[in-house]
A and B are shown apart, each in its own frame.
Chain A
Amino acid sequence: MTAKPKIAVYKMSSCAGCQLEILNLEHVLLDVINAVDLSYFVMARRDSEPGPYQIGLVEGAVTCGEEIEKLKQARKECETLVALGSCACYGGLPSIKNWTPQRVVESRVYENPAAIHSTTAYGIDYYVAVDAYLKGCPINKEELVEFIKSALLGAKPYLRPHSVCVECKLYENVCVAVSEDIPCMGPVTTAGCGALCPANHKACDGCRGPADDTNAKSLAQTFKEHGLNPGDIKRKFHKFAGMTPEFDKGADIL
C-alpha cells in the first residue's frame, strides 16, 4: 500500500478559526486521519514530520515580512498549496486595516507601535501561486472534506462558484432581502456555506468573498435605494474581501 498523503497546516495572521474547523470535523476526523497523515499541524500535535507534503493548507493573511518568508517556504515544500479561509484567500478580516493609514491603525492597537513592522494585509496569492481556495470565515468543513477527497482521487473538487442565493433557494429559506428588506450580500457572495446566515434568519455578511460574475455595483445601488448610507455600504464590501477588485467596485458607490 502506498504511503498516506501528507498534509501540512500553516498559520499566518488569523484567528485560528479555520484550523479549529479541521478539529471540529469530529464526526469524520478518524476517517480523515485514516486517509491522510496530518504531518505538520502545530495546533493539533506536538511533534511535526518534515516535508515535503502533498497538500499544504495555509490559514491567514500575510501581514509582515516573516510571514512572506514562511509562505515561500510552504510553497516550496508543498505539491498543492491551498488558501484555507477568507484571510488566506483575500486578506479577510485582517484586511479591514488596509483602509486606514498604517500608523493610525497601529497606534490604536499597540502601546508601542515602534516594534511593529506590519504590511498591507494580502491573501497569499499576492506572493505565491495558489492551487485552490477554500473560502469562508471560517471555512465550511464539508467543503474541506470534499476537497481532500478530490485531491486523493485526483479529481476536480466540486466547490460552488455561484451566489449564496442559489443555496438559499435549494433549501427554500425565506429571503431576508426580499421578504424583510434586510440588506443581504448573498447575491454577490460565493456559496458553499449552505446559506448558513439566511437559514438562521440573518443577512449574508459576504464572508466567502465574490461569487462568479459578481455585480457588486448593482447590489450597492440597491443598498443605497433601501436607505443604507455610503459608509455602511463601503464597510459591507470591505469587511472580508475588500481587496478583491469585485467587492471594491461595490464599495465605490459614493
Chain B
Amino acid sequence: MVIARNLEAMLQASSIAFLPKEKLNDFVGLLTEEFLLYGPVQKKTEFVFEKIENAAQLALDYHTTLLPPKKVLHQPFETLFSFSEGEGAVDDVSHVEEKQLLFGVHPCDVHAISILDEVYSHEYEDPYYMAKRRGTLVVALNCSTPGDDCFCSSLGTGPDLKDGYDLLLTDLGDNYLVETGSKAGQELVEMARLYSAPRVTLVEKEKRLSDARKKFKKRMITDGLHDLLEENFRHPVWEELMKKCLACGSCTMVCPTCFCYNVVDKIDLGLRSGKRQREWDSCMLLEYAQVAMGHNFRKDRDARIKQRLYHKLAYYEPQFGTLGCVGCGRCIHTCVKKIDITEIIGRIRGE
C-alpha cells in the first residue's frame, strides 16, 4: 500500500531537480537575499532553529530540534500591541507580513504547521499567526535517519512528506533531490537555475525512505484510538502517571501542535503606557484551568495528564480532522521522567 501511494506521488510530482551539495552555499545565499532564513543549527548536544546567514551554520543532519519551527510563527513571547494614554493610544505591532523561509523542516513539523494553520484559521482567524504564516515559505527535508523517540511512521506524518511544503529536499548523498510543492517553490528552483533531475531519481529516493522506515524504534497503533481512550478513562495507568509526572510542563512547551497561550499586560513603570504580550501556556500547569475565586477545573495532576493525551489523540480529530500528535517524539525526549506517549497507548492496549 505504501508503494502504491508513493508511485502515485511520483507521478504527481510536478517537477524535480538536483541541488548538488557543493551548491548548497550558493542556494542558501540566494535565499537570504530574498528572505529572513531560519534553519537548524547545533546548540551543544542539541539542535535549534535559528536565523541563518550562510549554509555553514546549518546542521542539516540534525535530529529533532528542541523547540519546533512553530516558534517562528507562534512565538514563545509575542507583543500583540502597545498602548499609551492619550490619542492614537493603541499601536498594533505584530501584523507585519515578513518574507521569511523555514529551511530544512522535517515532515512531522511540516504536518504540525499545517495543523496550526487549520487551528488558527478555523473559526476565528488569529491575525498574528496568519500574518506571519502568509509571508512564510517552507523548504522541507525528508528524514533518512529517524531519531530514537520518533514515531511519525505510525501516524503517516513522516519520515517522508506528501504536501504542505514549497520545496522538499531529500538527501541522496552528493545531491539533494528537490521537489516543488507550490508556485513559489517552482520560482525558487528557476531562480537558482537548478538542473532538473531524471524521474528515475524518485526510485532512489523511495529506497532511502523505505530504509528509514525500518529504523523506527517506537510506534503507536492508531486504529480505534478514539474509542480506546474513551473506554479507558479510568484505566490504572492514569494514577501511576499522576505519581510519576512532575507537572513541569516541558512536554507541552516543546510540542509542535500545542497552541495555547496566556495573555499578560506589561505596564511601564510610569503606569501610563505598556504592551500586551502573549506567551506559550500549558495545560499541564496547575494555573491553566484556574478561574476566578481560585476554583480549578483540573486541580489533580492525572486530570491534566489525561487532558494532554486526550486532546492530542481523541479530542483533536473530531474538531480539526487529524490527530493532534505528529509523532515528533519531543515530549518523550524532553521528559525528565521519560513518560512516553507511545508506551501509554501500548499499555492501555495491553501490548
Contacts and interface: CB of A to CB of B under 8 A. Distances in A.
A35 interface: yes
Interface residues of B, number: 37
B254 interface: yes
B287 to A, nearest CB: 5
Contact of A35 (B271, B280, B286): B271
B301 A213 contact: yes
B98 interface: no
A177 B338 CA distance: 11
Nearest to A36: B269
B271 A179 contact: no
B337 A170 contact: no
Contacts of B77: 170
B269 A149 contact: yes
B253 A161 contact: no
Contact of B253 (A166, A213, A219): A166
Interface in B216-275: 243-250, 253-254, 264, 267, 269-271
A163 B336 contact: no
Given A149-B267, A219-B336, A170 B286 contact: no
A178 B271 contact: no
A169 B254 contact: yes
A170 B282 CA distance: 11
A23 interface: no
Contacts of B295: none
Nearest to A35: B269
A28 to B, nearest CB: 6
Interface in A163-197: 163, 165-166, 168-172, 174-175, 177-180, 184, 186-188
Contacts of A48: none
B334 interface: yes
B214 interface: no
A250 to B, nearest CB: 11
Given A212-B286, A213-B286, A222-B337, A31 B269 contact: yes
B46 A179 contact: yes
B66 interface: yes
A219 B246 contact: yes
Given A163-B249, A166-B285, A218-B246, A174 B267 contact: no
A187 B270 contact: no
A179 B286 contact: no
Contacts of B244: 218
Interface string B315-348: 0000000000000000001111100000000000
Given A35-B270, A162-B249, A162-B286, A172 B336 contact: no
Nearest to B76: A170
A132 interface: no
A152 interface: yes
Contacts of B71: 172
A46 B241 CA distance: 57
Contacts of A211: 247
B150 to A, nearest CB: 16
Interface of A: 28, 31-32, 34-35, 145, 148-149, 152-153, 158, 161-163, 165-166, 168-172, 174-175, 177-180, 184, 186-188, 201, 211-215, 217-219, 222
Interface of B: 43-46, 48, 66-67, 71, 76-77, 243-250, 253-254, 264, 267, 269-271, 279-280, 282, 285-287, 301, 333-337
Given A34-B269, A217-B243, 7 more contacts: A161-B286, A163-B248, A172-B48, A175-B250, A175-B336, A188-B246, A212-B285
8 tightest CB-CB pairs across the interface, nearest first? A169-B253, A187-B248, A212-B286, A165-B248, A187-B246, A163-B248, A31-B269, A213-B286
16 contacts: A31-B269, A34-B270, A35-B270, A162-B286, A166-B250, A169-B280, A178-B333, A178-B334, A184-B336, A188-B246, A213-B286, A215-B243, A215-B245, A215-B247, A218-B244, A218-B337
